A = this chain, B = another copy of it.
Amino acid sequence: MTKIEISQGTCPFPKPVALVGALVNGKPNFMNIAWMTRIAFEPHVWGFSTREERHTVKGIKENGTFGVSFPGPDLVAEADYVGIVSGNNVDKSEVFEVFYGELGTAPMIRDCPLCVELTLHDILKVVERAFVLGVVQHVYTEERYLSDGVLDQKKVNQLIFTNPAHQYWTLGDEVGKAFSIGKKLKK
Cross-chain contact B36 with A13 (CB below 8 angstroms): yes
Residues of B within 8 A of A128 (CB): 40, 42
- One complex includes copies of this chain to the number of 2
Which of B12, B83, B171, B183 contacts A70 (CB under 8 A)?
A: B12
- Interface residue? A53 (CB, 8 A): no
Cross-chain contact A127 with B45 (CB below 8 angstroms): yes
Distance between Cα atoms of A152 and B185 in the complex (Å)? 31
Cross-chain contact A8 with B136 (CB below 8 angstroms): yes
Distance between Cα atoms of A177 and B110 in the complex (Å)? 24
Distance between Cα atoms of A77 and B143 in the complex (Å)? 32
Residues of B within 8 A of A127 (CB): 39-40, 42-43, 45, 121, 133
- Interface residue? A27 (CB, 8 A): no
Cross-chain contact A185 with B95 (CB below 8 angstroms): yes
Give the shortest distance, in Å, between A76 (CB) and chain B (any CB). Answer: 5
Interface residues on A, range: 35 or more
Cross-chain contact A159 with B171 (CB below 8 angstroms): no
Which residues of A, 163-187, contact B by the 8 Å Cβ criterion? 164-186
Sampled A-B contacts (29; CB under 8 Å): A3-B101, A3-B115, A4-B142, A5-B140, A6-B139, A7-B139, A9-B44, A10-B114, A12-B116, A12-B158, A13-B16, A14-B160, A14-B171, A15-B15, A15-B37, A38-B49, A40-B49, A73-B175, A76-B176, A121-B127, A127-B133, A150-B164, A153-B162, A160-B160, A160-B172, A167-B177, A169-B171, A169-B173, A172-B172
Chain A positions within 8 Å of B, measured between CB atoms, are: 1-16, 34-45, 47-49, 70, 73, 76-85, 95, 99, 101, 110, 114-116, 121, 124, 126-129, 131, 133, 136-144, 146, 150-153, 156, 158-162, 164-186
